[in-house]
Amino acid sequence: MIEIALNILGAVSLWLAVEYYLRHQTAESLEDASLIPFADDPEVARRVEAATGKIINAVAPEEVKSGWGNLEI
């Protein structure tokens, strides 16, 4: 019986922790966060923008400087 109570307490604690963490989030901020994985590849960002109509602030990846590329340690 104590195990069931502890399981319920754990589930409620997890739910409350998630609610507390996300309390200041808006639908817009969560939507922006869902588009972050596409921001580092401009070509993929353009395709996602065309498919969804949402604007993605894409950033071109930095060019590798000569001499700093393929270092083997």
> What three-state secondary structure class fits 46?
helix
Provide the token pair at 57.
């602030």
Give the total number of structural domains in the chain.
1
Is 13 within the bounds of a domain? no
> Which range among 13-22, 49-58, 61-70 shows the weakest confidence by mean pLDDT?
61-70
- 2: in domain: no
Q: Give the range of the structural domain holding residue 44, as residue numbers without chain letter.
A: 25-61
Q: Is residue 71 part of a domain?
A: no
Coil vs helix vs strand at 27? helix
pLDDT band at residue 71 using 50, 70 and 90 as cut-offs: low
Instruction: Confirm whether 17 is domain-assigned.
Output: no
Specify the higher pLDDT residue, 47 or 64: 47
Is the distance from CB of 56 to CB of 49 less than 8 angstroms? yes
Q: pLDDT value at position 69?
A: 61
pLDDT in tens, 12-39: 999 999 999 988 888 888 888 888 877 7
CA angle 32, 37, 43 (to 5 degrees): 105
Identify whether the C-beta of residue 38 lies closer than 8 Å to the C-beta of residue 58: yes
